[in-house]
Amino acid sequence: MTLRNKFILAAVLLHLALVVLAWQLLDYNKVLFVAAEVLIATSIFLTTKLYTSFVRPLNLIAAGIESIKDRDFSIKFMETGQKEVDQLIQVYNQMMDELRQERVVQTEKHFLLERLIEASPSGIILLDTHDRVAGLNPAAATLLQTSGKNMVGKPLTELPHHWGNSLPKLPKDEQRIIRPNGIQTYRCRKIRFLDRGYHRYFILVEELTQELLEKERNAYEKLIRMMSHEINNSIGAVNSILNSFSYFAPQLNEDTQPDFEEALQVCITRNQNLAGFMANFANVVRIPPPTKHETDLHQLLQGIHRLMLPSFERKQVCWQWDLAKDVPLIAFDVQQMEQVLINVVKNALEATEPEGWVKVQTIASPPQLLIQDNGKPITPEVQEKLFSPFFSTKANGQGIGLTMVREILLHHGFWFSLQTGPDGLTTFHIQF
């Protein structure tokens, strides 16, 4: 039973009792009976006024509750002239103004946050309370090469490509550097935020590739120039002295003269090899801008095949072709691209065991080149360092081959990758 019904029932019972009592006065004293009737009428009138004053705030409260339930903060009440009711109305109206203002502020902030997330050049992956994908911004969708709608509700382990292995391992509230293929570099952070009282996380992915490549390039250019300058100056002076010593050879007896000449020649040859070693490093930082000409890619590949065929025959490795028809002419620097392809084919040959194969494949649209081998796969540890300067897996490697390849392809603006797939085949992929 509502409070209103309880009030009405109590008033009715009270006045019925008064009427019964007044009726008893009719035979006893008519004057008292009339007075009792007047008193009862007055009581009914006052009770009605009291009921009206009592019910109005209840109606206002009920209407206010309904507007709050409907999240309609635009409803305001007019003052009635009753002090107590007006105080309630003033508090209610003030509360509605504050709620409406707060909702406007929150809506504007939410709208601004959504626009900032969408416009952010960094990838943002929102997670729910179970660390499943709740949303992606356009930058993250581009990095993942997928649609945000397709990933919503999926766990991080189901993210495409290498992301499904890298992002689930991120520690909370920390950052890690991820280099999936030795070229692209990403800084990833898993950051906590509070959503309606619950702790949730989002993953921020920032690409650092160009910034790090520029810093790395500046560092090793400075180092190589300094080393080349100092070593070449020393080698020139030492070789000059060693050549001068050769004039004293005839003055030695016949027993010691051959050893003396051999020792001099060993020192001179070693210095020349050291000079050539430094020249190879210096060539990496002296790569000129490419002079591009439209070139037949297949013709260039045929020339490299003729050049490398004796090496393939000696190692008993098969060269396989899978050339597409109607591949358009491609604009690139022929000399630089030839150097790139020789390095790539040579690396594939060295990684392949006898009786293995290296396959050269082209795709017409868009123009692409794939050099694939069934040799030793690339480990994840090596993958992250493949294109780093001075890094080599060979015993006598200088670590400049893939660095030069990287620099030439970046100067051309060609996308490229080198990695071992799930099938165990290693592929160098260039998209022109």
149-173 per-position pLDDT tens digit: 778 888 888 887 777 777 888 888 7
Question: Which segment, 83-97, 177-191, 265-279, 360-374, is predicted with the most confidence on average?
Answer: 360-374
Closest CA to 407 of 284, 223, 291: 284
337 assigned to some structural domain: yes
Cβ pair 42, 22 in contact under 8 A: no
Residues 152, 222, single domain; the answer is: no
- Nearest-angstrom CA–CA distance, 1 and 8: 11
Residues 256, 160, single domain; the answer is: no
Residue 140, domain extent: 120-207
Question: Facing residues of 318 across strands?
Answer: 357
Cβ pair 144, 136 in contact under 8 A: yes
Categorize the per-residue pLDDT at 331 as very low, low, confident or very high, splitting at 50, 70 and 90: very high
Whose tokens are 């109590």? That residue is 10
Whose tokens are 């072709």? That residue is 321
Residues 297, 420, single domain; the answer is: yes
The H or E element containing residue 56 is: helix 30-69
Question: Which segment, 22-26, 124-128, 210-214, 365-369, is predicted with the most confidence on average?
Answer: 365-369
Of the residues 172, 207, 242, which one is the last residue of a structural domain? Answer: 207
At 190-206, the pLDDT tens digits run 888 877 777 888 888 87
The whole-number pLDDT of residue 319 equals 92
The answer to whether residue 359 scores a pLDDT higher than 90 is yes
At 221-269, the pLDDT tens digits run 666 666 666 666 777 777 777 777 777 777 777 777 777 777 777 777 7
Do β-strands 318-322 and 357-363 pair in parallel, antiparallel, or remain unpaired?
Answer: parallel
* Number of domains composing the chain: 4
Cβ pair 126, 139 in contact under 8 A: no
Residues 399, 421, single domain; the answer is: yes
More confident residue, 404 or 225: 404
115 assigned to some structural domain: no
Q: Domain with 145 in it: what CATH number?
A: 3.30.450.20
Of the residues 264, 285, 306, which one is the last residue of a structural domain? Answer: 285
Categorize the per-residue pLDDT at 406 as very low, low, confident or very high, splitting at 50, 70 and 90: confident
Q: Which residues contact 323 (CB under 8 A, 6 or more apart)?
A: 298, 301, 360, 361, 362
Categorize the per-residue pLDDT at 210 as very low, low, confident or very high, splitting at 50, 70 and 90: low
Of the residues 60, 85, 107, which one is the last residue of a structural domain? Answer: 107
